[in-house]
Structure 1
Amino acid sequence: MGVPEPSPSRPLRRRRLFRYGAALTVSCALAGYLVVRFGPDAQHARPGCEVVSADDDGATYFFGADQAVNAATIAAVGTSRGMPERAVTIALATALQESGLRNLDHGDRDSVGLFQQRPSQGWGTVAQIMDPVYSAGKFYERLGKVDGYASLPLTVAAQKVQRSAFPDAYAKHEPDAALLAAALTGRAEASLTCESTVPEGPGDPSAVRAALIRDFGARVLPGAPEAKTAGKKRRATSVAGSASPSPVAGTLAGGRAAAPARARTVVVPVAEPRTAKEPKARQRGWELAQWAVAHASVLRISEVGYAGREWRASGTGHTWREVGAERGGSAGAKKEDGPEGVRIVTAP
């Protein structure tokens, strides 16, 4: 029988125990991260917005609330000009490449804004380009002059507008842009959701109406008082960067004595199209509804309802849920409001 080896010294045992303990701690932390990042409750832990494919292919795109605001504005400007979904896809892919859907006040040389347009190249002044509605409109204006743009490869169509030094860079954003365009033009119903906490502070219906008119034009809310001022010069800031909306009339400091839900509600009518280029009424309704969800964080919107479904900022913000008949069709405009419209409720 051999002579047993001497046992390790106490310092050596302590070092080994420390290493084992450190490895175990790292492993537990990694496991916890994976559960939060990819587990069944991951969506509840990740504030932001998500678009899910309507084609049952499992494709998704997750992006920030500020990006959602800009994407929804780009889409609204396009459809309000009668541009097809393909044009919206091209615009969104371009903005994803140029700015990551963020309204940047800097860039290469004198480039600024969502599309990194350059004042020195005739796109407008810095103040104009920093207005997402203006910059998106200029993009569509030039895209519309490209012969057969809808049938061109996306990167070719985008390059004919942008004149980028990296013309092939737009192609990689096409799948995500297509998902966004399908949702934000209303073709893919109930496909865009935003998960966030309840908006802090009261919302303002007049701010919602003003933003709708800003993105879609005065025809979106005929007769609204905000439409009377729609022809004035727009402020050279995006909705996301503008001042916080003022409280709803009847609301006191701290949220006490909040206005009733009806006073906080904007009902957007959904009319049948007047021309062949305009979307059908149901698609238009979903376009408006998902625009509202995308703007929930900046306009302090707590609920959106349309076509028997409802989205809420609190608790169920990760999904559109069906609303039963017992709620009296509250997911859309109530009967006394006239034909069904998109119901947008601001936070109390």
Structure 2
Amino acid sequence: MARRTRGVTLAEERAHPRRTRRGIAVLTVLALGAAGVAGYVGVQRLVHAVSGEQCRVTAAGSEYRWAPDQASNAAAITAISVKRGLPARAASIAIATAMQESKVRNVRFGDRDSLGLFQQRPSQGWGTAQQILDPEYSTNTFYDALEKVDGYADMDIAEAAQAVQRSAAGSAYAQHEGQARATASVLSGQTHAGVGCALRDPSSPGSPQDVVALLEKDFGLEGTVSGDSVVVTPESTDLAWAVASWAVARATDTGAMQVQVDLRRWTRSMEDSAFTWSTVRLGPTEDAPDPNQVRISLARPS
């Protein structure tokens, strides 16, 4: 089940069943067998139907895969670090922590009374259960605690995470460092055009007003509704890419169909093209947009 806040469906809060390797293998063989009949595009769609919706993050030559709900939560975690003016290292620490504690899922269960992305406990003063299950609230409380750790930005990720969490298995955070750092680099705008998501169309159109509210909540930025789109022009190119990457990673929640920044564009689909950003070709009479302008469209492009 999913819950809705301000009209935006937030990431799932229950455990995800795992497909068996045998089942995936059988369906993959069927996909390959269909190649001669359906062609390449048809096979792409069948393979994605087998593997399901997914997001991919690419930075410094390495690629990592996320389920859409995990990517959405990682985007919120990173956006809040940007909003607070924290170094990208803070987002890396937070994502690695959430990977270990909850697999970056906003779960309603855990050890004793642990809840949410960081498995925070109401009985230990992290907030009420309702508060902890708000990803923005739980992320802010994590950063509040992290900022009290002297020299955290110079620590190993596992050491900094453990200083906040005080886990019985503190060294386990280290195994997530590569994926956490790459994801934080892309979602903070340090790496451009590094995230793509293959997603089915939403069951109902997203709301531009809801995207504006979520943009304000995560980044503290003001977006403008323009028809079926939200337009925002951050003050720097990196921040523009942070917002654009956030919009792709949170598309599973918001229903975003297309995201454009400068002359690069992501378009929602279940094909491999959804893992990349295309280049927009201007007509002879068209003017180039502001390079820092981000347009998030909630309607299928014609």
- TM-score interval, normalised by the smaller of the two chains: 0.7 to 0.9
Query: Which residue of 2 is the match for residue 51 of structure 1?
Result: 57
Alignment pair present for 1:176 and 2:179 = yes
Scaled by the length of structure 2, what TM-score is found? 0.80
- Residue aligned with 1:175, SS: helix
**Are the counterparts in 1 of residues 78 and 188 from structure 2 also a CA contact under 8 Å?**
yes
**Are the counterparts in 2 of residues 201 and 347 from structure 1 also a CA contact under 8 Å?**
no
Query: Are residues 342 and 31 of structure 1, via their aligned partners in 2, closer, same or farther at CA, if it must alter by over 3 Å?
Result: closer
Letter in 2 for 1:92: I
Query: Are residues 31 and 78 of structure 1, via their aligned partners in 2, closer, same or farther at CA, if it must alter by over 3 Å?
Result: closer
Q: Separation in 1 of the partners of 2:227 and 2:107?
A: 36
Pairwise mapping of residues 72-91 of structure 1 onto structure 2 (< 5 A)?
72-91=75-94
Q: Separation in 1 of the partners of 2:156 and 2:201?
A: 42
Q: Separation in 2 of the partners of 1:198 and 1:216?
A: 25
Letter in 2 for 1:265: S
Query: Which residue of 2 is the match for residue 342 of structure 1?
Result: 294
State the Cα distance separating 1:110 from its structure 2 match. 0.8
Query: Which residue of 2 is the match for residue 6 of structure 1?
Result: none
Query: Which residue of 2 is the match for residue 318 of structure 1?
Result: 275
Query: Which residue of 2 is the match for residue 32 of structure 1?
Result: 29
Query: Which residue of 2 is the match for residue 92 of structure 1?
Result: 95
Q: Separation in 2 of the partners of 1:91 and 1:105?
A: 19
Letter in 2 for 1:116: Q
**Are the counterparts in 2 of residues 197 and 313 from structure 1 also a CA contact under 8 Å?**
yes
Q: Which runs of 5+ in 1 are unaligned?
A: 1-25, 226-261, 272-280, 334-338
Q: Separation in 2 of the partners of 1:329 and 1:164?
A: 55
Query: Are residues 33 and 167 of structure 1, via their aligned partners in 2, closer, same or farther at CA, if it must alter by over 3 Å?
Result: farther
Letter in 2 for 1:305: Q
Letter in 1 for 2:84: R
Q: Separation in 1 of the partners of 2:252 and 2:156?
A: 34
Q: Separation in 2 of the partners of 1:33 and 1:165?
A: 45
Q: Separation in 2 of the partners of 1:329 and 1:72?
A: 31
2:153 to 144, 150, 156: 150
Query: Are residues 309 and 30 of structure 1, via their aligned partners in 2, closer, same or farther at CA, if it must alter by over 3 Å?
Result: closer
Letter in 1 for 2:232: V
RMSD across aligned positions (CA): 2.5
Deviations along 1:112-140, whole A, 9 cap, x unmatched? 00000011111111111111101100111
1:202 to 195, 202, 205: 205
Query: Which residue of 2 is the match for residue 288 of structure 1?
Result: 243
Identity in percent: 43
Q: Separation in 2 of the partners of 1:136 and 1:264?
A: 30
Pairwise mapping of residues 292-307 of structure 1 onto structure 2 (< 5 A)?
292-307=247-262
Q: Separation in 1 of the partners of 2:249 and 2:110?
A: 26
Scaled by the length of structure 1, what TM-score is found? 0.70
Q: Separation in 1 of the partners of 2:27 and 2:203?
A: 33
2:229 to 256, 265, 270: 265
